[in-house]
Amino acid sequence: MKLKNYKFWIRYSLSLILAIVIIYFIFSFMDIPILIKSLKNANIYPFLLACFLNFFVMASKGIRWYFVVKPHVRISPFQAVRLTILAFFINSFIPARGGDIMRGIVAAKETGGDAVTSIASVGADKLMDMITVFFLALGFPFLPELPGWVKEGTLFSLIGAYGLFILVIILSLKGHKYFEERKNVRIYRVMHKLSSGLRAISNPRIFVILVLFSLLSYGFQLAMVFLSSLSAGIRLSLPECACALLILNIAVSVPLTPLNLGTLHAAFTAILVFFGFNKESAMISSVVIHLAYTLPLFAISPFLGVGTIMKQYRPQSTST
Note the pLDDT tens digit of each residue in 225-240.
Answer: 999 999 999 999 988 8
Confidence check: pLDDT of 99 > 90 = no
Cβ contact 155:148 at 8 Å: no
- Mean pLDDT, residues 124-131 taken together: 84
User: C-alpha distances in angstroms, 257 versus 21, 29, 175, 254?
Assistant: 11, 21, 36, 9
pLDDT at 1: 42
pLDDT at 114: 83
Residue 152: which domain range?
Answer: 2-319
Residues with Cβ within 8 Å of residue 276, at least 6 apart in sequence: none
pLDDT at 19: 79
Comparing 50 with 11, which gets the higher pLDDT?
Answer: 50
DSSP code at position 137: T
Banded model confidence at residue 316, pLDDT cuts 50, 70, 90: very low
pLDDT tens string 112-122: 888 888 888 88
pLDDT at 56: 96
The rounded distance, in Å, linking the Cα atoms of 97 and 211 is: 22
What value does the CA radius of gyration of the chain take, rounded to a whole number of Å? 20
Number of domain units in the chain: 1
The percent of residues in the chain predicted with pLDDT above 90, rounded, is 29
pLDDT at 220: 96
pLDDT at 197: 72
Cβ contact 197:176 at 8 Å: no
The rounded distance, in Å, linking the Cα atoms of 260 and 257 is: 5
The rounded distance, in Å, linking the Cα atoms of 218 and 221 is: 5
Cβ contact 310:91 at 8 Å: no
pLDDT at 236: 93
Nearest Cα to 11, choosing from 252, 258, 276? Answer: 258
The rounded distance, in Å, linking the Cα atoms of 71 and 271 is: 41
Cβ contact 118:70 at 8 Å: no
- Mean pLDDT, residues 271-300 taken together: 93
Cβ contact 175:191 at 8 Å: yes
Nearest Cα to 225, choosing from 233, 215, 236? Answer: 236
Banded model confidence at residue 13, pLDDT cuts 50, 70, 90: confident
pLDDT at 306: 67
Confidence check: pLDDT of 30 > 90 = no
Confidence check: pLDDT of 129 > 90 = no
Comparing 312 with 215, which gets the higher pLDDT?
Answer: 215
pLDDT at 20: 84
Q: Which of 131-135, 150-154, 207-211 has the highest mean pLDDT?
A: 207-211
Backbone angles phi, psi at 239, to 5 degrees: -60, -40
Confidence check: pLDDT of 315 > 50 = no
The rounded distance, in Å, linking the Cα atoms of 244 and 236 is: 9
pLDDT at 168: 76
pLDDT at 51: 96
